[in-house]
């Protein structure tokens, strides 16, 4: 196989809470891209010096596995003075995969994403935010029980367990105290949606510039209270079922909402929108993940690609790379996607990139 003479760096962090790309996912992407490109690297970015060193290598593309670094690590993830990698690479004319800073900031902060959906007249449950240093009582939560309680800025199900559903104020206060003290995060409290849960992968077609919207239903095992929750434990074990959505009417509602939220967030190229039904079966936006898990056979994004359009792992990764390279200058041309097996519904084609 002739390799494309391009330099691609996969970027992740070893600082806790910063990387959206696990080492396993990173290594899998590295092995795949090494088959198609002449120079592939993995760069660990924990500080500005790491970022500057990466820039000095002038990669053709950065495969983003994180969103920002902290100027003041001692403050933690709540530090507002962050260096957003997408902004930094834009300033240095380096192409990268996925969305820009503004969309990442909304996606990272779940309450901001919900408010963005509300501002766009899209369905999401009512919510309040409790700050880490905030004392509060029942009057600060003008919502209807039961409530769902989680960190405002963690992914992967972090902080979500059977105690996340609170049926009274004492239960809510206990969960809030756990999140603020153990996870050092502000807390998102929202009215609990008791219906089925779905995840919609969104992936741009690099030829037509239209978006595939690829929904799947996620069915977690019942917990000790008989509730299905996608907790960190369930996600880590990959023990939830991923089912194709066959109800055409429901599928249309899910994909319309997901694409509308994706657009409202200002996201681009690819991402994942999570949705849950209310008691009347109406879809409500839960949260967005614009750097979703990309491990083969794990995580809802790769599963959604396979179940909906037969897009296998290698073609999925190459599609994301192609979309990133499309943001480069006009010298990037004729990047080929790998062939898929004959039983794949999706047939990759030659991607020709022009300046954008």
**Looking at the predicted structure, is the pLDDT value of residue 114 above 50?**
yes
Q: Measured between alpha carbons, how far is residue 282 from residues 33, 77, 186, 227 in Å?
A: 41, 34, 28, 19
> How many CB atoms within 10 Å of residue 319?
23
Question: Can you give the pLDDT at residue 51?
Answer: 95
Question: Cis (ω within 30 of 0) for the bond into 279?
Answer: no
> How many CB atoms within 10 Å of residue 22?
17
> CA 254 to CA 340: how far, in whole Å?
28
Whether the pTM exceeds 0.75: the reply is yes
- Residues, the chain, total? 356
More confident residue, 57 or 17: 57
More confident residue, 354 or 197: 197
* pLDDT tier, 119 (very low <50, low <70, confident <90, very high otherwise): very high
Burial group, residue 39, by CB count within 10 angstroms (0-12, 13-18, 19+): middle
Residue/partner pairs of 91-96 with CB below 8 Å, 24 or more apart? 92/55, 94/55, 94/58, 94/59, 94/61, 94/62, 95/60, 95/61, 95/62, 95/324, 95/325, 95/327, 95/328, 96/61, 96/62, 96/63, 96/64, 96/324, 96/327
**Looking at the predicted structure, is the pLDDT value of residue 149 above 60?**
yes
**Looking at the predicted structure, is the pLDDT value of residue 249 above 60?**
yes
* pLDDT tier, 74 (very low <50, low <70, confident <90, very high otherwise): low
**Looking at the predicted structure, is the pLDDT value of residue 347 above 70?**
no
> CA 177 to CA 38: how far, in whole Å?
51
**Looking at the predicted structure, is the pLDDT value of residue 209 above 70?**
yes
Question: Can you give the pLDDT at residue 182?
Answer: 87
**Looking at the predicted structure, is the pLDDT value of residue 346 above 50?**
no
Look at residue 242 and give its three-state secondary structure: strand
* pLDDT tier, 290 (very low <50, low <70, confident <90, very high otherwise): very high
Question: Can you give the pLDDT at residue 227?
Answer: 85
């Amino acid at each position: 196989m002739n390799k494309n003479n391009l330099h691609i760096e996969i970027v992740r962090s070893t600082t806790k809470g910063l990387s959206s790309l696990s080492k396993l996912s990173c290594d899998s992407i590295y092995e795949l891209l090494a088959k198609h490109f002449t120079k592939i690297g993995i760069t660990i970015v924990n500080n500005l010096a790491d970022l500057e060193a990466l820039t000095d290598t002038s990669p053709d593309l950065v495969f983003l596995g994180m969103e920002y670094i902290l100027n003041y690590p001692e403050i933690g993830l709540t530090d507002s003075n962050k260096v957003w990698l997408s902004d930094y690479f834009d300033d240095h004319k380096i192409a990268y995969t996925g969305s820009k800073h503004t969309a990442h900031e909304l996606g990272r902060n779940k309450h901001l994403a919900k408010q963005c959906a509300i501002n766009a007249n899209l369905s999401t449950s009512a919510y309040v935010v409790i700050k880490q240093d905030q004392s509060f009582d029942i009057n600060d939560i003008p919502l209807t029980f039961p409530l769902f309680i989680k960190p405002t800025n963690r992914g992967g199900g972090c902080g979500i367990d059977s105690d996340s559903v609170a049926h009274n104020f004492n239960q809510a206060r206990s969960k809030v105290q756990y999140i603020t003290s153990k996870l050092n995060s502000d807390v998102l409290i929202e009215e609990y949606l008791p219906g089925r849960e779905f995840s919609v992968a969104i992936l741009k077609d690099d030829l037509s510039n239209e978006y595939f919207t690829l929904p799947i239903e996620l069915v977690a095992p019942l917990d000790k209270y008989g509730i299905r929750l996608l907790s960190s434990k369930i996600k880590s074990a990959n023990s939830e079922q991923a089912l194709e959505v066959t109800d055409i009417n429901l599928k249309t509602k899910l994909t319309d909402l997901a694409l509308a939220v994706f657009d409202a967030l200002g996201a681009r190229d690819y991402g994942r929108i999570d949705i849950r039904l209310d008691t009347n079966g109406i879809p409500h936006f839960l949260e967005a993940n614009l750097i979703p898990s990309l491990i083969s056979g794990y995580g809802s994004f790769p599963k959604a690609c396979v179940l909906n359009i037969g897009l296998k792992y290698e073609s999925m990764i190459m599609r994301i790379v192609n979309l990133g390279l499309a943001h480069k200058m006009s010298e990037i041309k004729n990047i080929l996607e790998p062939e898929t097996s004959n039983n794949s519904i999706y047939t990759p084609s030659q991607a020709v990139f022009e300046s954008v």
